[in-house]
Amino acid sequence: MRHSRERLISLENQGKFVFHGYPEKIKKLEVKQPYIFNKEAEKEEKHENPCVSATPYIDIAIFRAIVNKKNFSDIVYASRFWINKNNSPQFATTKEILKRTKNKEGFVYVLDKSLFKKFSDMEWRAYKNIKPIEIISVTAEDLPYNIQLIDENFNKIKK
């Protein structure tokens, strides 16, 4: 296990932090408009008010730091993550993206949980710019082990 993952697990276990995964290193997280994919309309739409989003789950932050549109702008991008009924994070992406994560790097921003309000089980939101307590570099080695394969239309691929 890499030192980065060990450090993040330690912070997650403390329960005092939330995490934000991003492909670039920046000094502070700025409020941005969140979007959600509307399956019926087949497009992204604004989701609530501008905010800084974070999660109490390090695996979600690591996944978002590595698997994102910015890191894979040259191919058809498809990924998703959710919390299952056992309150565990689940992940899915295409075989091509998963194969190409090997040389990707990202950053997990460690944030003071008291500055955020719970929005859902997997998402907390702050409505002002946030300076991170710590920034931890992550690579594909830090990704969660339970990533499912989907096609570009988000259909699960049978193994």
Q: How far apart are CA 97 and CA 72, in angstroms?
A: 7
Query: What was the pLDDT predicted at 158?
Result: 66
pLDDT tens for the 159 residues of the chain, in order: 468 999 999 999 999 999 999 999 999 999 999 888 777 887 888 889 999 999 999 999 999 999 988 888 887 778 888 888 888 999 999 888 988 898 899 999 999 999 999 999 999 999 999 999 999 999 999 999 889 887 887 778 765
127-157 burial, b at 16+ Cβ within 10 Å, e below that, comes to: eeebebeeebebbbebbbeebebbeeeeeee
Query: What was the pLDDT predicted at 123?
Result: 95
Q: Where are the domains of the chain?
A: 3-71+105-140
